[in-house]
Structures are given as structure tokens and as C-alpha cells.
Structure 1
Amino acid sequence: MALMTDLSEDAEVTRGDRFIKTAVAILGETGRTDFTVQEVVARSKTSLRAFYQHFSSKDELLLDLLDRTMLQSVQAWRAETTGLDSTSALKLVIDRVCRQPESTTQDSLNRALSLYNQHLAETRPREYARVLSPLHQLIRDVIGQGITEGIFNPGLDVGATAAIILQTVVNAQRLHWLGSELNGTPIDAGQLYDFASSALGIRDEPDQTAKPTLAELFAQIGMRPGTRDGEFAMTMPVSPHVVNTSGALQGGLIATLIDVAGGQYGLDFLTPGTTMTTADLFVRYLRPIRQGSAYAVPRMLRSGRRAMVMQIDIYGDGDDELAATATVNFAVINGETPKGVRAAT
């Protein structure tokens, strides 16, 4: 992982900083983490006592180094993503994590830190998670931004997805040292971005697909006008999409069928310049409908200037026994008068 490891020369350098700078120098020279505390003390021209006043072990020194460099790197990357859209921000973060070293010293340092990351993950997972948490939060924020923009899949578990992308990118970089041994060419940032794009459901443009109308939704479940014994009815077939756990037509859809049947039937009773809306609906369910189609047959009980009251009975295919019956009260209000569908039957 391409982390920033610069400790400013202009800032006041504490003794703890001196130990960390010495560790960075050793890592950059050797690419290994098997140096000793004595080496750090000797090169920093301090004492063992001073070292142990700041760190309990070499692991604590390296952990502090990783903490600092991760935080410093993520702060810089976050600043770079400010003002970018989510896809550009994601590309930038992956590119920065995957950026190849510009010098042999940085290459050695990256190798050493990558190996130590693996050691931490195996021996001190809680501390390792803490080290990675700033990067995890940055990726979470980018994913959240993408969902808000309508670019990423809104059903994502943001925290889990961010963790998966983080682990994928970090581990891919660790395996980068294998070069082309696995698949002919090393995995690069572009390939990792494409992989993340697939996981996030990234679209080139925000979803501008027209949302289905209510009539189209009803058509998808097979609700349509028809007749029963020569009378107007709304029908709906029993199918796997509309049944409950017992295999019967779902009660809420029966209520919807009743409401639509009454609404369509009542349109022919409206005067020009008026429309109608459901005021209340009471359904009594009598028996299940498990096969064939359901028929909602409306009958006007009272039609006035301000209200309509209907009884709507539900039957199954070829069955005169009621499956449900409802009383529906519609309010008549001013508005554009819709066209009914009874003529289509």
C-alpha cells in the first residue's frame, strides 16, 4: 500500500518521532521488519530506557508508525476527493492505494509494511482493524455519496461493502509482489476499479428509467377488467407472485382488487368536472382463493353528488360462493373526470 511516511523536518521532533524516523530509514534500506530494538536505539543515538519509555516493544513502534502513516495518507486522499463525484473519488482512492513506489527506498518500505500488515492481521487483528479504520471510513463515505447520487446500488450494506473493497484492494497489492506469475500480468488499479464497479452496481449515468405507472404495475400482476355472468368485474389470476405463504391470493391484493373494481365501476356515475377517491373500505374475508382467478364484482348501493357507496363481492373461478365481501365509500370531489375502462369489456 502506497502510504505516506514523511515526518516533517520543520515540526518539533519528539524522541518518539525520532524512533519512528529511524524505523522508517531501516525499513527503506532493508525492506524487512526483523530489525532489533537495539538497532533502532543505536541509530537514533538514544538509550534503551528512552525507547521503552515510549514503546513497550518493536511491534508497538511499528504499529504507531502504521497508525500515523495511514492517518496521514487518508487525510491527503480525502482532501483530493473533495469536490469529485463518487466514481472519480473511488478511482482516485484505489489509484492512491495501488500507486507504485517512485524509488527503491519507497519500494523497500512498501514491501516491509505489506509484510507487517499480514503479521498484524494474523497476530493482532483488533489493532490492525484500528489501523485500517480511516481508510474504511473514507471508502464508506464514497459509497454513501454514490448511493445519494443514484450511481451505486441503493441496496448495498455500506459498511460491509466498504470492508470488502478495502480488503480486496489491500490484499491485491500484497500479492502484487508475485508479479505476473499468476495470470500473466500484475493486477493494476484499473482492474481493481472495474471489479469494485461490478460489486457496487455502478452505472455510467444515474438511473433515469421511467418508473412504471400504477396501471402498468397492475398489468404486471394480471389485474384487468372483465365480466362475470354478464356483469362488470375486475379480475386477477392466482400466480406464485401474488399468493401468501399458505398458497392463497394475498389479502392485501384482494383489497386492492376491490378498490380498483369500485373505482372503475364508479367512473360511469360521475358528472363532468368531478372525480372520486376512496374514503373508507371494509373487507370481510370468508375463504381463500388458491387457483384460477379472483373476480371483484361491484354493485352500487347509493350514488350521490358527494359520495358513492358500493358493495363489492369477490368470487373464485366458476364458483358462486363468496370468497370475500366489502363495503366501500368513495368521496366525490371536483377534478378532471377520468375515462372508465368498462367500455373495454
Structure 2
Amino acid sequence: MPAPGPAPEDPAADWERRVVGRSLRAARARSIDRAAALIRAATVLVERSGADTFTVQDVADEAGQSLRTLYQYFESKDDLLLAVFEEVMITYARVVRTSIAGLDDPMERLAGALIAMARLPALTPTDASGGLARLRLRLAQVDPDLVGRARAPIASLLLELVTAADAAEAIETPDVEAAAYVLLTLSSASTNTSTLGNDVGVAPSAPAQVVGFCLRGLGADMTTDWYASVGGRLRLPAAPRRRKRAATA
């Protein structure tokens, strides 16, 4: 006679599953809220200082949380700063997409996005734009692959726009990914020059000129007036107000 198998476990009552589910959802929401508060605090410090010279204790103090809590969610300062950069890239891509929302033509949308990317540093407080540019360079030294993944929102948007312009035969490229890579690389170099200082040794060009030069390499030969028209229809955020200097005696 075969030995009896293990007794089946009693099925959990439905209320138990509901209680566990609510508990896990509540814990997840608390974790996201606390981590987001720390990311916001670190972002404020980057923008305020124009660098990342602050300590993790400074971040915890700014967020009103303990250092122990910070290390529950981020294993190091670089891990936290990477999260800051990820959030910045999500916002950056959203702003660029909003800036071209009024444009329908694929070529205008591509050119408009590139012009917006070139103009945005001037529409951001100097300390903030410089701090974020330095942050990207530092993180790229630590783990370039993670930085590349963090830039996925803007890279995906640019690839989408290049693909649409190519499909409309507004540009000519045998490889849309390669074209998007070149455009994003040139845009990043231009942004670094405008935020961290011109180390090229040649006077910089206006954003529309840079964009026109880049797109001519893809077979798009538009006039100066055309770029001016596209740039004039972008929905960009307002430029920051300059702080008034205190009057001297």
C-alpha cells in the first residue's frame, strides 16, 4: 500500500490575499515616495552648487531623512546621482517633445527638436545647466553603459524623428540609428560647449546654423529662413529671470 503523500495546504482565505496585496502596495508606494524625495533633494543640490561636491549627508538633510534611510534605497552617491540623471533625461525628453508639438512635417519636427536641444541650456539657470553637464561627464567615467541607458528617453525620441524624416524622404541615410547617434553626439558636444565653456578655440555658431550643418550631411538643404521659421514656432519654456544685483553704496 503506497505511503500517503503530504497533506495539501489549506487554501488561504481571500481576505488574506487582499491584506498581503495592500501591504505590498503600500510598502512600494512608501519606498518610491522616499526615494523620489531623496532624488529631488540631490537635484536641488546639483542645481544650487553647479556641481556634485555635496555629501550624501547633505542630501539626507535636504530631504529631511536620515542617512540610514538614504542607504536603504541607494547603495552609493553615484547610484543616487545616476537616478538624478535618469529623472533629468525623462524631463528633458518631455520638454523637447512638447517644444515640437505644434509641428506636423517630419523634417520640421526633426530640425525643431535639434534646435530646441541647442537652445535649452540658455533657458536653464547657469548653475543648474552647468551642474547637470558636469554630472553627466562624471557618471560617464563611472559607468558609461548606465549613462547611455539613462539617456534612452531622448535617444529614442531622436531615433523616432530621424526614422520619420527618412520615411518621408526628407533626408537620406542608409542607417537611421547611425544618423541618430551622430546627431545626438554633436548635440551633446554643443551643449557642453555652451554650458561648461568653449574649449574648441573657434567661435560657436548659432543653434540653427549648427543644426543646418548637421542635417546637410543627411541631404537636407534648407534655407536660413526655413530654420528661422521652425525655430520661431517651437514651444519652449520661458528663459529664467536674472537675479538683480544688490545696490552698492
Q: Give the structure-1-normalised TM-score.
A: 0.51
Question: How far 1:179 sits from its partner (Å)?
Answer: 4.0
Is contact 1:37–1:58 with CA below 8 Å preserved after alignment?
Answer: yes
Q: Supply the distance in 2 between the matched residues of 1:114 and 1:107 (Cα, whole angstroms).
A: 11
Query: What pairs up with 1:88-237 in 2 under 5 angstroms?
Result: 88-98=108-118, 99-102=120-123, 106-153=125-172, 155-176=173-194, 177-179=196-198, 182-183=201-202, 185-204=203-222
Separation in 1, partners of 2:141, 2:190? 17
Question: Which structure 2 segments of 5+ residues have no match?
Answer: 1-29, 224-249
Unaligned runs of 5+ in 1: 1-11, 206-345
- How far apart are the structure 2 equivalents of 1:191 and 1:14? 43
Q: More helix by proportion, 1 or 2? A: 2
Q: Residue 152 of structure 1 contacts residue 203 of structure 1 at CA under 8 Å; is this kept in 2? A: no
CA distance in 2, matches of 1:181, 1:79: 31
Q: Secondary structure at 1:100's aligned position in 2?
A: helix
**TM-score, normalised to structure 2's length?**
0.69
Q: Per chain length, whose mean CA-contact separation is higher, i.e. which structure has more relative contact order (CA < 8 Å, sep 6+)?
A: 2
Q: How many residues align?
A: 190
Superimposed CA distance per residue, residues 93-120 of structure 1 (whole angstroms, 9 cap, x where no aligned partner): 12222223446xx211111111111122
Distance 1:168 1:50 in 2: 40
Higher strand share: 1
CA distance in 1, matches of 2:213, 2:94: 25
Q: 1:75 to 1:28 in 2, by over 3 A?
A: closer
Deviation (angstroms), 1:129 = 0.8
Q: Post-superposition shift, 1:178?
A: 2.2
SS state at 1:34 partner: coil
Deviation at 1:58, TM superposition (A): 1.2
Aligned partners of 1:115 and 1:123: how far apart in 2?
Answer: 13
The separation in 1 between residues aligned to 2:74 and 2:206, in whole angstroms, is 37
Identity %: 22
Amino acid aligned to 2:130: R
Q: For residue 122 of structure 1, report the CA deviation from its aligned partner.
A: 2.4
SS at match of 1:33: coil
The 8 Å contact of residues 151 and 202 in structure 1, kept in 2 or not, is answered as yes
For 2:133 and 2:193, locate their aligned partners in 1 and report how far apart those are by CA, in whole Å: 9
CA pair 70-46 structure 1, distance change in 2 beyond 3 A: same
Which one has the largest radius of gyration? 1
- For 1:68 and 1:152, the matched residues in 2 are separated by 32
